[in-house]
Amino acid sequence: MRLEIGYRETWLHRINPSLKLLVMLAIFIAVLFVHNPNVLANLAVALLLLFFICTGYPLKYLLLFFLPFLVIFVSTASSMTLFGEGKTTWFQWGLIHITEESFLRGMHLGFRALTFALLGLIFSLTTRPVYLFYSLMQQLKLKPKYAYSFLAGIRLIPIILEEFQTVQNALKVRGAAQVGIFEKIKRYAIPLLSQSIRRAQRIAVAMEAKRFSSGMARTFYYEISFSKYDIVFIFSMAGIIVLAYCVGTILPYVPVVDVR
Amino acid sequence: MQASKGLKLADILITVVISIVFGIVYKLWGPFYYFVKPFGLHIDQLVYGMWFIAATVAFLIIRKPGVALLAEIAASSGEFIAGSEWGLEVLIYGVVQGLLAEIVFAAFRYKRFDVLVVSLAAIGSTIGSLVMDFYKGYIEALAPWNLALFLLARFVGAVLISGVFASSLVKALEATGVTQMVRSASKEDYEQLNR
């Protein structure tokens, strides 16, 4: 998505996109079953290092991308910290009831949100959508009619954004009255959706007129395959996880192994 | 062209493009969601329902099996590729939410398109999101009064946004005539011809 920002291509960019997606999904599901805050904190820090060192973007952009995650961290951690159940009370004021258990659980949730966010951001910063869908077709046998629909859809995003601007300007020129949020969404959504539907319909007709079909064997403009970087990636991810687990259990920061 | 065997290219393309519009909305909804979060008492949960809207709107427009699931997956992929603050989890949430909405539409054999069914689909998606939250967010460990408020806010928000608002949005779209070229001809249309 962020091709307009200059970046250096690193080994993370050269991994097979399907493999990268599957490995990251596997880590995602594994993290759902981690209840030890020490292990999770280590994992989050390791991914943070990977994010800052290996994605190949200038530091100021990385910091900019990272900013919303801090907000997510605080907002995810806060409601469990303030309202979670627990036994050892630290602070109580009206409905707010902070306990040791709820605080640790809140921190754990914060680190978990951070881990998921980093996995996603590392993926989207180092993967070109075009290669992703070509790889999904070639390695995971995604049907071409789905893959090309997504590719066409992604190509339409700039046009949709431009139309959004046009509607905004048109409303401004006509001096449209201030309205509530849902009325406002409707004002933008109706023209944007109807134009998008018409455009999608035209693309589909054009593709079928040019004999696009899923039936026969296809050749691909981009041939995506595996390389040595895929092995590097699998081993480094496995290394990070094993290291996070060992350090978290041998040298814990807090003497809690399960926050539930 | 392969007739009636699953979704046609046009159906898929239109679903995906609609969903990408919503994917952008989903992405922009993130900052709004954590903007209202500090107000506390789960007011943020009232706006959570926006993340289920792609499934219901796309189904109401195209009215075919599989559209709700595809739409929610496409919208969450759009959000993901645009660099969502929640990263990978939006993809999984999208699949689960879309699946539950799809099951509701399937339960009515894809034949009913009224506010009630759409609201039920929104409730289905909400349950999907709660299942994920149960694993991810330990929501059961919230104090009981707080959990009740959380659930109530999310269900009400989902029905209002992805149920009632989604149907009114599609009604307005129908007025533009654009849905006519998307939907397959209905029984009434054929009866009109025979008259």
**Domain-by-domain residue ranges, chain A?**
11-132+226-250, 144-209
pLDDT of residue B16 exceeding 90: yes
pLDDT of residue B111: 87
pLDDT of residue A149: 92
Most confident of A74-83, A84-93, A168-177: A168-177
Q: Tell me what the pLDDT averaged over chain B comes to.
A: 86
Rounded Cα–Cα distance for residues A216 and A223 (Å): 18
Classify residue B52 by its DSSP letter: G
Are B142 and A80 contacting, i.e. CB atoms less than 8 angstroms apart?
yes
Rounded Cα–Cα distance for residues B9 and B39 (Å): 45
Rounded Cα–Cα distance for residues B130 and B116 (Å): 21
pLDDT of residue A136: 93
Supply angle C-alpha A181, A182, A188, rounded to 5. Answer: 90
Question: Could you read off the pLDDT of B91-147 as tens digits, one per residue?
Answer: 889 999 999 999 999 999 888 889 999 999 999 999 999 988 887 777 777 778 888
Confidence of residue B185 (pLDDT cuts 50, 70, 90): low
Confidence of residue A201 (pLDDT cuts 50, 70, 90): very high
Rounded Cα–Cα distance for residues A214 and A211 (Å): 10
Domain ranges of chain B: 9-194
A69-73, B63-67, B165-169, range with the lowest pLDDT:
A69-73
Query: Considering only CA atoms, which of B6, B3, B16, B57 is closest in space to residue A148?
Result: B16
Say whether B135 and A153 touch across the interface (CB within 8 A). no
Are A117 and B85 contacting, i.e. CB atoms less than 8 angstroms apart?
yes
pLDDT of residue A95: 67
Cα distances (angstroms) measured from residue B168 to each of A126, A179, A181, A190, B111: 39, 16, 14, 11, 18
- pLDDT > 70 fraction of chain B, expressed in percent and rounded: 92
Confidence of residue A9 (pLDDT cuts 50, 70, 90): confident
Name the amino acid, one letter, at A217: A
Please name the helix (run of DSSP H) or strand (run of DSSP E) that holds residue B51, with its range, or none.
none
Query: Considering only CA atoms, which of B86, B53, B88 is closest in space to residue B72?
Result: B53
SS3 content of chain A, % helix, strand, coil (to 5): 70, 5, 25
Say whether A201 and B85 touch across the interface (CB within 8 A). no
Cβ neighbourhood burial of B87 (10 Å; 0-12, 13-18, 19+): buried
Are A255 and A101 contacting, i.e. CB atoms less than 8 angstroms apart?
no
Mutate: best of A65, A69, A116, A184, partner B, most B CBs <10 A? A116
Mutate: best of A150, A161, A168, partner B, most B CBs <10 A? A150
Most confident of A76-85, B2-11, B58-67, B128-137: B58-67
Question: Could you read off the pLDDT of B52-72 as tens digits, one per residue?
Answer: 999 999 999 998 999 999 999
Are B49 and B160 contacting, i.e. CB atoms less than 8 angstroms apart?
yes
First to last CA, chain A: 38
pLDDT of residue B5: 57
CATH topology of domain B9-194: Arp2/3 complex 21 kDa subunit ARPC3 (1.10.1760)
Torsion angle, CA of A33/A35/A38/A43, rounded to 10 degrees? Answer: 20
Query: Considering only CA atoms, which of A153, A127, A130 is closest in space to residue B88?
Result: A127
Say whether A123 and B88 touch across the interface (CB within 8 A). yes
Rounded Cα–Cα distance for residues B150 and B137 (Å): 12
Rounded Cα–Cα distance for residues B20 and B57 (Å): 12
Are B14 and B61 contacting, i.e. CB atoms less than 8 angstroms apart?
yes
Name the amino acid, one letter, at B148: A
- Structure token pair of residue A176: 């449209």
Most confident of A82-91, A175-184, B10-19: B10-19
Residue A97: what are its φ and ψ, rounded to 5°? -140, 100
Residue ranges of B 109-148 with Cβ closer than 8 A to chain A? 135-138, 141-143, 146
pLDDT of residue B3: 45
Query: Considering only CA atoms, which of B24, B80, B71, B28 is closest in space to residue B52?
Result: B71
Measured between CB atoms, which of A109, A118, A146 is closest to B12? Answer: A146
Residue A31: left if φ>0, alpha if ψ -120 to 50, beta else—which one?
alpha
Are A240 and B42 contacting, i.e. CB atoms less than 8 angstroms apart?
no
Rounded Cα–Cα distance for residues A56 and A6 (Å): 9
pLDDT of residue A21: 92
Most confident of A207-216, B21-30, B115-124: B115-124
Query: Considering only CA atoms, which of A68, A47, A66, A70 is closest in space to residue A58?
Result: A66
Contacts of B142 in chain A (CB under 8 A): 79-80, 83-85
Range B7-14 average pLDDT: 90
Please give, rounded to a whole number of angstroms, the shortest distance from the CA of A195 to a CA of chain B. 9
Rounded Cα–Cα distance for residues B39 and B45 (Å): 11
pLDDT of residue B2: 39
- Structure token pair of residue B173: 């779209």
Are B14 and A200 contacting, i.e. CB atoms less than 8 angstroms apart?
yes
Question: Could you read off the pLDDT of A106-143 as tens digits, one per residue?
Answer: 888 888 888 888 888 888 888 888 999 999 999 998 88
The verdict on B35 touching A (C-beta cutoff 8 Å) is no
Say whether B86 and A116 touch across the interface (CB within 8 A). yes
Minimal-distance CA residue of chain A relative to B137: A109
Supply angle C-alpha B74, B78, B83, rounded to 5. Answer: 145
Q: Is the ipTM of this complex over 0.90?
A: no
Confidence of residue A202 (pLDDT cuts 50, 70, 90): very high
Say whether B138 and A157 touch across the interface (CB within 8 A). no
Range A36-58 average pLDDT: 88
Q: Tell me what the pLDDT averaged over chain A comes to.
A: 86
Residue B32: what are its φ and ψ, rounded to 5°? -65, -40
Confidence of residue A77 (pLDDT cuts 50, 70, 90): confident
Are B51 and B157 contacting, i.e. CB atoms less than 8 angstroms apart?
no
Residue ranges of B 46-105 with Cβ closer than 8 A to chain A? 57, 61, 70, 74, 77-78, 80-92
- Structure token pair of residue A178: 């201030």
Residues 6+ apart with CB under 8 A from B187: none
Say whether B18 and A200 touch across the interface (CB within 8 A). yes
Residues 6+ apart with CB under 8 A from A210: none
Say whether B9 and A212 touch across the interface (CB within 8 A). yes
